Every structure is written in C-alpha cells, then in structure tokens.
Amino acid sequence: MNATDDYIATFPDEVRPILTDVAEALRRALPGAEERIRYGMPAFMLSDRYALHFAGWKHHVGLYPVSPLEADLEAEVAPYRAAKDTVKLLYRDPVPTELVERIAVALRARHP
C-alpha cells in the first residue's frame, strides 16, 4: 500500500471502489508519477512542482486543478465542471475512467 491507497482505505465500503477506479485511471495515464498526499488529498506529481489531485467528498470525487483544456476535450469535461479548475464526478454515476485518463494525459503534456 502507498499513501493514495491509505487515503482511500479511510472511506466507506461503497465509496472505496469509486476512488480506487479514479486512482487506477490516473496511474494508467501517468505512469511513473510520484504519488503523495498534498493538502490532505492524493496528488500525482507531474513535475517537481505541479500535481493533479483527487479527493473524496460526501457525494462526489473531485479532480484538481483541471484548467481549461483543448476545445474538444473541454466539451466532454464541461458537464463535470463544478468550478473553474474543478472536475466533479458524482458517486451515483459511473466513473468516466477513460475521460479521467484523457484529462490526466492532457495535463501532463503541459508539464513535461
């Protein structure tokens, strides 16, 4: 287990698989990224100073920061936007893991 898995283990049984799906999507999209806890949430380091975070909440999992993306990808992300740099995935809906992966890949490309 690592810090991300330890974080996920603190959540209720019905939420852990959802958070695990998000973490696994990020691991697939960001192979070799350092995982650590920053600001109380898992962070996948994209360079020495930049990270993509995710956090579990009462009704959703959030991805942070997700700045505006290329137009076609942003159009797919738009229904999940909760704030300028936040993507909000409700627990009641299937996790769009392929979209999470594509978001992570697009952000990594900005921070080689």
- Separation of CA 96 from chain center: 11
pLDDT on residue 2: 87
Residue 38 has pLDDT above 90, yes or no: yes
Where are the alpha helices (H) located in 1-112, listed in sequence order? 3-8, 16-29, 71-77, 97-110
The residues spanned by each domain of the chain are 3-110
Tokens of 105: 């890949």
- Dihedral (CA of 21, 69, 63, 39) sign: positive
- Does 3-110 carry CATH code 3.90.1150.200? yes
Share of the chain above pLDDT 70, in %: 99
Neighbour count for residue 10 (Cβ, 10 Å): 10
Tell me, what's the pLDDT at 103? 97
Structure confidence at residue 46 (pLDDT): 86
Q: What is the pTM of this model?
A: 0.93
Specify the pLDDT at position 76: 97
